[in-house]
Structures are given as C-alpha cells and as structure tokens.
Amino acid sequence: MATPKTESIMNFNQVIGSPGTFETGMDITIFESILTNLFLANTIENNIQKRAILLSSVSEKIHKVLFSLCVPSTPNEVEYDTIMKCLNKYFKPIKSYFAARYTFYQAKQRQDESVCQWGARVKNLTSKCGFSSELTTVIRDISVVGMCSGPIQDRLLEGDASKIGVTYSTLIEISTAKEASINEKSGWKKEEYADLKYQKKNNGHYQAKQGFNTHKELKIKCGICGRSNHFQKDCRYKD
C-alpha cells in the first residue's frame, strides 16, 4: 500500500534569522519586507509555515486586530497572503502626496552638501511623493534647480533639458567632475598662499631692509640735472 505524500515541514529551530515582533506604530511595509527575505533565506514556500511565522511574530494587540479583521474566520484559518493584505490595509497610513511634494519642490542644496549627497537626498525625498512616469524628469529638474548658485549650477544650466540624453545620471557626472575641478583649484590656491606666507615670514626682514635702501637711494639727486627720479649714470644729459 502506497504511503500518501505529505508536504515537508521545516523545523522552526532551523530557521535562519528572525523578523522580530510587529507592534502598533511600526511600518508594516518594512515588516513584510523582512518576512519576505526571511522566507527566501530559508527557502520557505509552504503557506502554513509562512502563516505560522507571521502569527508568531506579531504582538497580542495585533492578534486582536487580526481576529476582528478575519471574521467570520480566524487568523489560523486564513491564507498568509490574505492576512498580509488585511494588515497592509489596516496599518498603511493614508499618504498626503501634496505635502510630500511640497517638501520635495522646496528642497535646496546645503552649503556643506556635496553633489552626490544632494542627489541622494533628492532621490530619497521622492519616495513619499507618489510620482509615476514623471519620476526621472522631476528628479533631474530639482537636482539642477535646487542646487546652490555658482559655477556648477551655471554649467548645468547651459544644457538643453528637452534633449533625451540630458538625464539625471549625466548631469550628476558633469556636476561631480566640475566639483572636483573646483576643489582641486581651491587646494592649489591654499598651497600657494601657504608658500607665500612662509616666504614672507623668512624673507620679510631682508625685503624690508632692501626696500628701505631702495627708497633711500631714490632720494639721492642726480648730480647733472638735479632730479631725484634717476641715478646720475642714467641721466640723459650726462653727455
């Protein structure tokens, strides 16, 4: 007599990692992402196991919420995907895209912020704005418009925004190259100033003395014409 096939159930002691405990006020999107990666890491595909791990990773308060959301069934009778949909619907906050977009459009590069840091912040701000097909365009535009006034922004404003090739990536490449050039020149000037300061410190006494002597020599009058703006040997009337 053939033995009926049964789905293999993993021993929970063998599970790598832990999703932690989901509490009220936590981000359900992050919690779901942690669960998904935990299932991938442990090759867990069985829905019964997924549901068991999910239900053992929520607080008592969340359990009570789930019992009310799953009526007339109980959480133990509902599929994993259905439970996640209930949690997402209940805990995901209603987003105010206008408020997020207002913050995004008002963004300005800080004086102490590099081009790469500024670009990363612009991208991060869009995560709450709900942009769709226009995402790449607005990221590119705000990266330029919100940039600090100066040679880097001036260089970018020379470009044609209507061209397909003028993308966020190309503008960042141009900006970082220009920024590196400016920083390099600034470094040269600092070195030149330091060298000049050192020379003045070491030669100042000699230069001051030499300057005094030169001034004194210029006060000596020419023995031929009587003027004091030249030496006698250079006088044009000496012959």
Residue 20 maps to a domain: no
- List the structure tokens of 56: 């053992």
Q: Does one domain contain both 32 and 85?
A: yes
| Rounded average pLDDT over 114-138 | 93
Q: Does one domain contain both 42 and 114?
A: no
Residue 209 maps to a domain: no
Q: How far apart are CA 158 and CA 148, in angstroms?
A: 15
Number of domains forming the structure of the chain: 2
- Is 50 exceeded by the pLDDT of residue 95? yes
| Rounded average pLDDT over 93-120 | 91
Residue 55 maps to a domain: yes
How remote is the C-alpha of 64 from its chain's centroid? Answer: 41
Q: Does one domain contain both 130 and 178?
A: yes
CA distances from residue 193 to 16, 189, 199, 205 in whole angstroms, order as listed? 60, 6, 10, 19
Angle, alpha carbons 59-64-70 (nearest 5°): 120
- In this predicted structure, what is the pLDDT of residue 125? 94
Q: Which residues contact 120 (CB under 8 A, 6 or more apart)?
A: none
Range of the domain at 120: 97-182
143: domain CATH number is: 1.10.1200
Residue 15 maps to a domain: no
- The string of pLDDT tens digits covering residues 193-227 is 555 555 555 555 545 445 544 444 445 677 767 77
DSSP structural state of residue 7:
-
**pTM reported for the whole predicted model:** 0.46
Residue 165 maps to a domain: yes
